[in-house]
Amino acid sequence: MPEFIDLLLVGAGQIVTCSGFGDGPWRGGGLSEPGVIRGGSIAVTEGRIFAIGTDADVKKKIGGARVLKTIEVDGRVMMPGWVDPHTHAVFAGYRADEYEARIRGDSYLDIEKMGGGIKRSVKGVREMDEERLFELARRRLGRMLDQGVTTLEIKSGYGLDIENEIKQLRVIERLGKETDLDVVATFMGAHQVPPEYSDPDCYVDFIIKEMIPAVAETGLAKYIDVFCEKGVFDVGQTRRVLEAGKEYGFGLKVHSDEIYALGGTELAVEMGAVSVEHLTRITPSGIKSLAGSDTIGVLLPGTSFGLASNDFAPARDLIEAGAAIALSTDFNPGSAPSSSMPLSVSIACSQMGLVPGEAIVAATRNAAFAIGMGSEVGSLEVGKKADIVIYDIEDYREIPSRAGLNHAVVVVKEGNVASEVHDFRARSEVGL
């Protein structure tokens, strides 16, 4: 029994724990039952959850320990912090004109051919100094925290040379140290072929022989990712990069089946990737392969939304096949410029057929496993980090159904209040 309880959150109408169904990422029917405790409390000590349960149970467990801070939840919803497992949050500027071009009928690949898309963001990152790049990203992460994101992955991939890829990775490392969020870094030098290379195979050689060893030496990235797509990197080139990355100790990720199905999902599974991401055009073969594996399919509903597309990943087929899925924003300056996890959850429900419980588990617990953080975050369980969000709602299903609003009013990161709307009680509908 601890002498002190650092933080006690009491009187929740619902605590969505995302626990109780089993270890690891959830699949199938378990996704729709997110482990709700009604009339609950959470006790926190030293940044970790010490007790969770009904108000009476938690009061009994903490006994006579001195409580240093109490937050009255007053019938609202408490949930784990969102885990955003696929972002490109370090960039120079947005590409809003491309959004209009897509609505007018230009395709993603058409824009790329005209010098837009990733190549345009590469130019911006190469021209921007590191300090400004960091400051822009720091402010973006602050807005994400305000909406309840407490952990995220950030990919490089807007440098495409050694100097600028490492510059991005240094910024990502600083974000993890100088913000309240947990940040996981992924090296994505294989995001696009840079303008100075006319031959993709020559660039792949450069990635393998020069970039991967240089990045590995810095220790700045946990994962390596490749954009396996028509006009970018084919399956053979993707395999070469992943094999080289694996030799240097990187965990593997693959952008796959976004616009064309090339077999990237099957390759990712074969090579033991932790995740395969996008999957808008995944085939029955890819679904079968993914379902029989430990690889997590990270779905990005905000990307289809941002591309003004009616094509979404077949989430229901994946769940029914037994695949483990996660949700993410794909936050980036062009195809998915929204950093809102609640919006991604709403789109997943309305356009991909997920019920709210499935979407929430996919955006918390399963998302944490997609970036190797499942033992620490993504669910509210004794011993895990106290990453807790209070939402000014009475039922967790209001998060996706009342789309376009930020319902987060208190965000707790490792037991400390990291973001708070100070006048939320005066404006609240809860309890009236």
Per-residue pLDDT tens over the stretch 230-272: 999 999 999 999 999 999 999 999 999 999 999 999 999 999 9
Tell the burial category of 406 from Cβ atoms under 10 Å away from its Cβ (0-12, 13-18, 19+): middle
Average pLDDT, the chain: 96
pLDDT confidence of residue 1: 79
Model confidence at 114: pLDDT above 80: no
Per-residue pLDDT tens over the stretch 281-302: 999 999 999 999 999 999 999 9
Cα end-to-end distance, the chain, whole Å: 37
274/184 Cα distance (integer angstroms): 13
pLDDT confidence of residue 117: 87
pLDDT confidence of residue 66: 97
Model confidence at 113: pLDDT above 80: no
Structure tokens at 309: 């597309």
Which is nearest to 14 in space by CA: 35, 38, 42, 43?
38
pLDDT confidence of residue 335: 93
pLDDT confidence of residue 385: 98
287/337 Cα distance (integer angstroms): 28
Per-residue pLDDT tens over the stretch 79-105: 999 999 999 999 999 999 999 888 888
- Contact (CB, 8 A) for 304 and 311: yes
Rounded to an integer, the average pLDDT of 388-408 is 97
Rounded to an integer, the average pLDDT of 306-311 is 92
Minimum mean pLDDT range among 20-34, 193-207, 245-259? 20-34
Q: Are strands 251-256 and 296-299 parallel, antiparallel or unpaired?
A: unpaired
Which is nearest to 192 in space by CA: 165, 171, 215?
165
Tell the burial category of 50 from Cβ atoms under 10 Å away from its Cβ (0-12, 13-18, 19+): buried
Cα–Cα distances (Å) from 136 to 78, 139, 141, 179, 286, in that order, read 30, 5, 9, 13, 37
DSSP string, 219-230: T--SEEEEEE-T
The number of CA neighbours under 13 Å toward the Cβ of 51 is 25
**∠ CA(129), CA(130), CA(131), 5° rounding?**
95
Rounded to an integer, the average pLDDT of 157-173 is 98
Per-residue pLDDT tens over the stretch 32-76: 999 999 999 999 999 999 999 999 999 999 999 999 999 999 999
| Share above pLDDT 90 across residues of the chain, in percent, rounded to a whole number | 93
Minimum mean pLDDT range among 154-158, 306-310, 358-362, 396-400? 306-310
pLDDT confidence of residue 65: 96
Rounded to an integer, the average pLDDT of 346-357 is 98
Kindly indicate the confidence band of residue 132, based on its pLDDT and cuts at 50, 70 and 90.
Answer: very high
What domains sit in the chain, N to C, each tagged with a CATH number? 4-81+379-427 (2.30.40.10), 83-369 (3.20.20.140)
Model confidence at 110: pLDDT above 90: no
Cα–Cα distances (Å) from 339 to 24, 144, 280, 361, in that order, read 26, 6, 19, 18
Model confidence at 115: pLDDT above 90: no
Sheet with 325-327: list strands edge to edge.
82-84, 149-155, 182-190, 223-228, 251-256, 275-278, 296-299, 325-327
- Contact (CB, 8 A) for 189 and 210: no
Q: Is the pTM here over 0.85, yes or no? A: yes
257/279 Cα distance (integer angstroms): 5
Model confidence at 390: pLDDT above 80: yes
- Nearest 10 degrees: CA dihedral of 95, 97, 99, 100? 180
- Nearest 10 degrees: CA dihedral of 56, 394, 362, 409? -90
377/105 Cα distance (integer angstroms): 41
Kindly indicate the confidence band of residue 150, based on its pLDDT and cuts at 50, 70 and 90.
Answer: very high
Please state the separation of Cα 415 from the chain's center in Å.
21
Model confidence at 109: pLDDT above 90: no
